Structure 1
Amino acid sequence: MSSTCSLVINGKAIRAARGDTLVEAALAGKIVIPHDCGTGQCDTCRVRIYAGEVDACGTRQGSTVLACQARVSGDAVIEFDAVPAVVKRKGTVTGLVALSPEIVEVTVALGKGLGHRPGQYVACSFAGFPARDYSPTLRSDGSGELNELIFHIRRIPDGIVSSELGRRIRVGHEVRVRGPFGSAFHRLGSGRLVLIGAGTGWAPIWSIARAARFREPDREMVVIAGARDPHNLHMGEALDWLSRSGVGQVVATASGGEPKPGQLAGRPTAHLPHLRESDVVHVAGSPALVAAIRLLAASVNATCYADPFVASARKRSLRHKLFDLLFARRPSADPEVPVPAAPRSAA
């Protein structure tokens, strides 16, 4: 048996060593398959196998595998979607708006635009803080400038980054951005689009939904927005626009608390339509939600692009907390990030 195989990647034939990952084999042939984490977590390097076979190493979904994990085992023909090149950009925070008691909309103006596909993500570093991954989106009214990146960030009380929004991270704060990454982006197609976003996972889903309505207005679409707390279903204006634009099924649902008028109760999976093999499913949210939707999509062999959102395990250190106590100004209510009061409940 030969120690090398023939790989055809996006139409270019190369020789590849058996046992190499597809990313390694491509790089040896001077082809860069988009990738990021290298551990099989981010899904950036998912490629399609059109002919032949590879050792999927447990990453197969339909006809796709993760190129950073799958290994060369024989001759094969593979293809990946062309995406904007990964670049680095500098910018500044120009806006901090509380969308709900937990979620903040952060606007970053870049010195030079950063091209990305709707649904991709970037690595963002606020000066003095570790990098975090965020998905660029649009405001609820669909606005956004070419040199702007708009993020939805959930405030976590002990989060190193998110807890400082409106405190140490304010308008004018310097930012470095690297990207784009991710394969869960909008693609033109004919199958029904089923879009599910929960919590801050609404950010990439809104970006995909808005793009799809303009790029392929006749394509059938279902949109489901979810949250645990009904107060975090902040996307009403966006959902109204989708309904007016012709989307047949638009759902806002909360799994906890008392839903507001126009909202449903339950998890997003409770309102999912019966999936078809021809469907193209996008899901962004908690790992549990993503796993459930992936399983349902796999049961009918539907295409599923998943973007699990996981909070960083790192917490604010004792040093950060002592700094707050000794030096930080702690206003009772930050004027740049007004937190909306929870609506009164009917007595």
Structure 2
Amino acid sequence: MPRTFTVAVRDQKFTVAAGDRLLDAALKNGVELPHDCRAGQCGACTLELTRGITLGGEAGCGNILACQARVFSDLEVTPHDAPETVLQNAVIEDIRDLAADVVKVIVRPRRPVHWLPGQYMKLQFRGYPARSFSPTAGLTDGTVDERLIFHIKKVRDGLVTPKLGAEIAVGSKLKVEGPFGHSFLRDDHPGRIILLGSGTGFAPIWAIAAAAQRRDRQRPIHLICGAKDAHAFYMDTALRKAARHEGTSVQVVLESLHPPLPDVHIGTPADHMPVLTAEDTVFAAGGPRMVERARVQAEAAGARFYADPFSPAPQPDRAPAYGLARLTRAFGRAR
């Protein structure tokens, strides 16, 4: 008979055979744990491991991914406090271009959906497969309301995103499921916040930055924003607003920049992180390689790290680069 162990999730307990995956065992025993992809990619099933031994699914900072972690002792695990996942009918209220192949999509759910800055939703437009995107705050004022604002990259040859603004238009109906993810702003740690966002990964990062500034205008925030090149850069309005806060510093990073511009760096956000300490909390959203590099640096410093990685996006084509030049003039000399 195989050896078994006991897993405690707050006030619930269940038995797991040695080597079984934690999430599978929990669901089999009628214990609901937050989850989504079940492939170790989305981060929705992240738990804090407070006691015990697992193999696989390490998520850093004492966290594990329940869908990947295999049980090899008695365990105590704690889900991260987050809003309950709901499924709502919704309608597209607006679609507007932000940059080359990047659109802002405003969705109005039938009833308000409670989410935390940094989380993501699954959107399923009628007749199309579901896709995951992070809601964000308004670029001009950093506020949120009952509507859900998304920054969406139109992926070349994609099944869904290239249809936005055409077959999927204003007035189109969809279903919104969420929120998911553990990379959200918390109030239990008062130290400096390091925020790294590349491409449309800026959406959850901007939601976190705007919320953190509203809660404490003096809190130290280091915001590093990246894009493929100047044509893909759409964040100037938000970054100018962020830079006006006394405790916030802003960096712009482009993977390709010709000709050079003052106060704009080359590379990815993870290439330009400040020296970290154990008192810092790091959030990263964007391409998996950038996020992984940020994770390694954060863990080496003993800093808290949170991320729900995005898939890489293709190179944008052509679009005006005026916003980037305005941004460097707006805050570059004041740094």
- Please tell me the TM-score bracket, short chain as reference: 0.7 to 0.9
Partner of 2:264: 263
What is the CA–CA distance in structure 2 between the aligned matches of 1:78 and 1:305, rounded to whole Å? 18
Q: Secondary structure at the match of 2:237?
A: helix
Kindly indicate whether residue 4 of structure 2 is the aligned counterpart of residue 4 of structure 1. yes
Q: Which amino acid aligns with 2:240?
A: D
Indicate the residue corresponding to 1:172 in structure 2. Answer: 171
Q: Report the CA distance between 1:312 and its aligned residue.
A: 9.0
Secondary structure of the structure 2 residue equivalent to 1:204: helix
Q: CA 1:260/1:116 → structure 2, altered by over 3 Å: closer, same or farther?
A: same
State TM-score, norm by structure 1: 0.84
Question: Are the equivalent residues in 1 in contact too, given 2:126–2:174 (CA < 8 A)?
Answer: yes
CA contact (8 A) 1:230 1:253 kept: no
Deviations 1:43-81 (A, max 9, x none): 111111112x22232525231111111122212222111
Equivalent residue of 2:171, what SS?
coil
2:331 is aligned to: none
Say whether 1:301 aligns with 2:302.
yes
SS at match of 1:168: coil
Corresponding residue for residue 148 of structure 1:
147
**Aligned-partner Cα distance in 2 for 1:104–1:220:** 30
Q: Specify the alignment match of 1:247 in structure 2.
A: 247
Structure 1 residues 214 and 157: alpha-carbon distance in aligned structure 2, compared to 1, 3 A threshold = same
CA contact (8 A) 1:144 1:150 kept: no
- Report SS of the residue matched to 2:224: strand
Q: 1:39 deviation in Å?
A: 1.4
Local SS of the residue matching 2:209: helix
Per-residue CA deviation, residues 9-35 of structure 1 (Å, 9 max, x unaligned), is 225444444333222343355432211
Question: Retained in 1: the 8 A contact 2:286–2:309?
Answer: yes
**Corresponding residue for 1:31?**
31
* Distance in 2 (alpha carbons) for counterparts of 1:268 and 1:218: 23
CA distance in 1, matches of 2:163, 2:130: 14
Unaligned runs of 5+ residues in structure 1 are: 314-338
Provide the secondary structure at the position in 1 that maps to 2:256: coil
Cα pair distance change 1:176/1:312, threshold 3 Å: farther
| 1:51-130 paired onto structure 2 within 5 Å | 51=51, 53-130=52-129
Between structure 1 and structure 2, the one with the greater Rg is 1
2:290 equivalent to 1:289: yes
Structure 2 gap segments, 5+ residues each: 326-335
Q: Give 1:96 shift.
A: 1.0
TM-score, normalization: structure 2? 0.86
1:247: Cα distance to partner?
3.1
- Does structure 2 retain, via aligned residues, the 8 Å contact 1:94–1:171? yes
Q: How far apart, CA to CA, are the structure 2 residues paired with 1:303 and 1:288?
A: 18
Q: Is 1:117–1:186's contact at 8 Å kept on the other side of the alignment? A: yes
Query: Could you tell me how far apart the structure 1 residues matched to 2:278 and 2:178 are?
Result: 32
CA contact (8 A) 2:118 2:185 kept: yes
Q: What is the correspondence of 1:213-252 to structure 2 with a 5 Å cutoff? A: 213-252=213-252
| Distance in structure 2 (CA, Å) of the matches to 1:157 and 1:41 | 22
- Cα distance in 1 for partners of 2:77, 2:224 equals 33
Within 2, Cα distance between the matches of 1:154 and 1:297?
Answer: 27
CA displacement 1:96-136 (0-9 Å, x = unmatched): 11111221101011111111111111111122222111001
Distance 1:342 1:10, change over 3 A: same
Cα distance in 1 between the residues matched to 2:222 and 2:320: 31
* 8 Å contact kept, 1:56–1:65: no
Task: Pick closer, same or farther for the CA change 1:312–1:255 going to 2, 3 Å.
Answer: closer
- Cα distance 1:340–1:227, how it changes in 2: closer, same or farther (>3 A)? closer
One-letter code of the match for 1:126? F
- % same residue: 36
Tell me, yes or no, if the aligned pair for 2:201 and 2:285 is still in contact at 8 Å.
yes
CA drift of 1:151 comes to 0.6
CA contact (8 A) 2:233 2:321 kept: no
Kept in 2: contact 1:233–1:252 (CA 8 A) = no
Cα deviation 1:279-330 (Å, max 9, x = unaligned): 21110011121121112112223221122211699xxxxxxxxxxxxxxxxx
Q: How big is the shift at 1:191?
A: 2.6
Partner residue in 1 for 2:202: 202
SS at match of 2:308: strand
SS in 2 for 1:289: helix
The verdict on how the C-alpha distance between 1:144 and 1:167 changes in structure 2, with shifts beyond 3 A counting, is: farther
Could you tell me whether the CA contact under 8 Å between 1:101 and 1:342 is conserved in 2?
Answer: no
SS at match of 1:225: strand
Q: Which moved more, 1:97-106 or 1:256-265?
A: 256-265
The farther-off stretch of 37-46 and 71-80 is: 71-80
